[in-house]
Amino acid sequence: MLLSGSGKPQFGEGNREVGEAPLGRPVWAAVGGSLMSLCLPFTGVATMKFKSPPVNSLSLEFLTEFSISLEKLENNRACRGVIITSTLPKIFSSGLDITEMCGKSMEHYTEFWRAVQEMWLRLYGSNMVTVAAVNGSSPAGGCLVAMSCDYRIMAENPKFSIGLNEAQLGIVAPFWFKDTFVNVVGHRIAERSLQLGSLHPAPEAHKLGLVDELVPEEKLMERAAAVMAQWLALPDHARQLTKTMMRKAVLDRLVAHREEDIKNFVTFVSKESIQKSLRMYMEMLKKRKS
Ligand SMILES: CCCCCCCCCC/C=C\CC(=O)SCCNC(=O)CCNC(=O)[C@H](O)C(C)(C)COP(=O)(O)OP(=O)(O)OC[C@H]1O[C@@H](n2cnc3c(N)ncnc32)[C@H](O)[C@@H]1OP(=O)(O)O
């Protein structure tokens, strides 16, 4: 992931680079983890770019780095907003890494699911303004990442699609994926789309309200910056309290049922019938390619 931003650099060790202006003020700080890059320039707006080829699958390692990056930005008082996008052509994120859910131990499934929950709790509950610049397809977990942001701008290419397609894989989107979806598009659209496991091409996603606007791909980052500026023009405390008011019930529900949700996931994903569905789905992806 690639994360970039400005202001007071507070990031961890590792791949840190900090530019210094003549007066000793930091110009920008870039923390390149291996799976995403992050930069925070003077504007106080970070850009986080997923860079985990081939398709930015949300593996345990990726989710961990994502959560750590969000925590670092959240704790950096100079950072007020983050734009999330991808460095890969045509793909925002392919969703949860299916290989993390296939043929692994119960302990592994537990750790993986906790990491999925952690990422969502941090992103959906973030005090920062979060804008998703969706520059490619974004199924399932990828859609969750985009939906957890405050605003979604998608490249207007009808070949790019977004949605919670879990049902197509023979799995069930958990209640907090569903709650997030309902909060974005409303109950009726969410119900139909979830039952059918629909992946919506960008123009349809826009019509349904799943994404807020479509722009030509080359204008995506420029538009994301403009939207961010509009949201940041308001006082942070008023915006943050309003965001909390709108999202708290859904966040609290997972916090209250976190262990039960992990147990449900582990039991569900360990079933031979589910393992079989996931294996068949992976085979279908590979065959489709050849
Ligand atoms: C009772 C209730 C209890 C609760 C139980 C909870 C149950 C679990 C809930 C789980 C929730 C969320 C699930 C997910 O997020 S699952 C992931 C869903 N994602 C998808 O369906 C997307 C699949 N991928 C694609 O459609 C395409 O790959 C793409 C993203 C459109 C890109 O297409 P492409 O042509 O550019 O690339 P492609 O050749 O298909 O793929 C390249 C290689 O990447 C592999 N791959 C793709 N997606 C994934 C993935 N999600 N995980 C792992 N690997 C993936 C693909 O197989 C190719 O590999 P290889 O090169 O052939 O080896």
Q: DSSP string spanning 225-255?
A: HHHHHHHHTS-HHHHHHHHHHHHHHHHHHHH
Cross-strand bridge partners of residue 3: 31, 38
Q: In the sheet where 161-163 sits, what is the strand order? A: 90-91, 136-139, 161-163, 200-201
How crowded is residue 135: how many other Cβ atoms within 10 Å of its Cβ?
Answer: 25
The Cα-based distances of 240 to 2, 126, 183 in angstroms read 26, 9, 17
What phi-psi label fits residue 222: left (phi over 0), alpha (psi between -120 and 50 degrees) or beta?
alpha
- Residue 39 Cα to ligand 1 midpoint, Å, equals 28
User: If DSSP codes are grouped into helix, strand and coil, which group holds residue 67?
Assistant: helix
Q: What share of the chain is helix, strand, coil (3-state, %, to 5)?
A: 50, 20, 30
| Cβ within 8 Å of residue 142, ≥6 positions away | 56, 58, 92, 93, 94, 95, 162
- Residue 127 Cα to ligand 1 midpoint, Å, equals 30
In this predicted structure, what is the pLDDT of residue 2?
56
In this predicted structure, what is the pLDDT of residue 14?
31
pTM of the predicted model, to two decimals? Answer: 0.92
Give the length of the chain: 290
**Could you tell me the CATH superfamily of domain 27-289?**
2-enoyl-CoA Hydratase; Chain A, domain 1 (3.90.226.10)
* Residue 47 near residue 38, CB atoms below 8 Å: yes
Take atom 62 of ligand 1 and give the residue whose Cα is closest. Answer: 286
What is the distance, to the nearest Å, from the Cα of residue 172 to the centroid of all Cα atoms in its chain?
Answer: 19
- Residue 243 Cα to ligand 1 midpoint, Å, equals 31
| Cβ within 8 Å of residue 246, ≥6 positions away | 183
Residue 191, class by beta-carbon neighbours within 10 Å (0-12 exposed, 13-18 middle, 19+ buried)?
middle
- At residue 126, what is the residue type? S
Rounded CA-CA distance 117/173 in Å is 13
In 3D, which of 77, 88, 59 has the Cα closest to residue 236? 77
What is the distance, to the nearest Å, from the Cα of residue 143 to the centroid of all Cα atoms in its chain?
Answer: 7
- Residue 278 Cα to ligand 1 midpoint, Å, equals 10
- Determine the residue of 98, 117, 134, 168 to mutate for testing ligand 1's pocket, defined as the one with the most ligand atoms within 8 A of the Cβ atom: 98
Residues with CB under 6 A from ligand 1: 54-55, 57, 90-91, 94-99, 137, 139-141, 165-166, 169, 171-174, 264-265, 268-269, 282, 285-286, 289
DSSP symbol at 189? H
* Residue 236 near residue 80, CB atoms below 8 Å: yes
* pLDDT tens-digit profile, the chain (290 residues): 655 543 322 333 233 333 333 333 343 455 557 888 877 776 799 999 999 999 999 999 999 999 999 999 999 989 999 999 999 999 999 999 999 999 999 999 999 999 999 999 999 999 999 999 999 999 999 999 999 999 999 999 999 999 999 999 999 999 999 999 999 999 999 999 999 999 999 999 999 999 999 999 999 999 999 999 999 999 999 999 999 999 999 999 999 999 999 999 999 999 999 999 999 999 999 998 76
Rounded CA-CA distance 39/2 in Å is 8
**ipTM score of the complex?**
0.97
- Determine the residue of 50, 94, 179, 278 to mutate for testing ligand 1's pocket, defined as the one with the most ligand atoms within 8 A of the Cβ atom: 94
Take atom 14 of ligand 1 and give the residue whose Cα is closest. Answer: 96
- Determine the residue of 35, 50, 52, 55 to mutate for testing ligand 1's pocket, defined as the one with the most ligand atoms within 8 A of the Cβ atom: 55
- Residues with active-site annotation: 96, 141, 165-166
- Residue 97 Cα to ligand 1 midpoint, Å, equals 6
In 3D, which of 178, 202, 203, 206 has the Cα closest to residue 192? 178
